Amino acid sequence: MTTQCGPCDDSAFRIFRPPAGAAEQNSALQDSRKESPSGSTIVLLVEDVHEVRILISDYLARNGYTVLSAGNGRQAIEAARQHPGPIQLLLTDVVMPGMSGQELALRVTAERPETRVLYMSGYTDDEIVRRGLHDPSMSFIQKPFTAENLAMQVRKVLDAA
């Protein structure tokens, strides 16, 4: 449908309506997205960008994870020390001020060898290699990522334990 917006206006708007039956297909698609991998484990999330940390934390919490959140390596080590139970996953940014994600992972896993590590970064592959994260056995997710991508990668790392 095209509508003119006034006697002298050359603007036109088109409204596209979904074909019959599309609502049922869309509902099925939304249902399949709701079945994203989830868990009830403890995740230590370390991200120096506050807004990104909040988004990731909220998403993980909505999917059943208990999230310990930290803005840098020092805070993460303190959070790990104060947490009495196991921490199944360390989800850490690679490049952070003060302490790299790799250094943090070494320190956390030295005290908690059962903790799996998933690195994340928005830097290019070249920068990641330069920082020593070129080992194919390391779990890594490239930023930006979708919520579904994150859920699948987190589940993959946890299931590999």
pLDDT single digits (tens) 61-108:
999 999 999 999 999 999 999 999 999 999 999 989 999 999 999 999
Whole-number Å distance between alpha carbons of 138 and 136: 5
- Map out the domains of the chain as residue ranges: 40-159
Which residue did the predictor score with more confidence, 121 or 13? 121
Q: How confident is the model at residue 37 (pLDDT cuts 50, 70, 90)?
A: low
40-159 CATH pick, 3.40.50.11740, 3.40.50.2300, 3.30.365.10, 3.40.47.10: 3.40.50.2300
pLDDT of residue 31: 43
**How far apart (Å, rounded) are the C-alpha atoms in residues 127 and 110?**
26
pTM (whole model) above 0.85: no
In angstroms, the CA 144 to CA 161 distance is 25
The dihedral sign for the CA sequence 68, 71, 75, 77:
positive
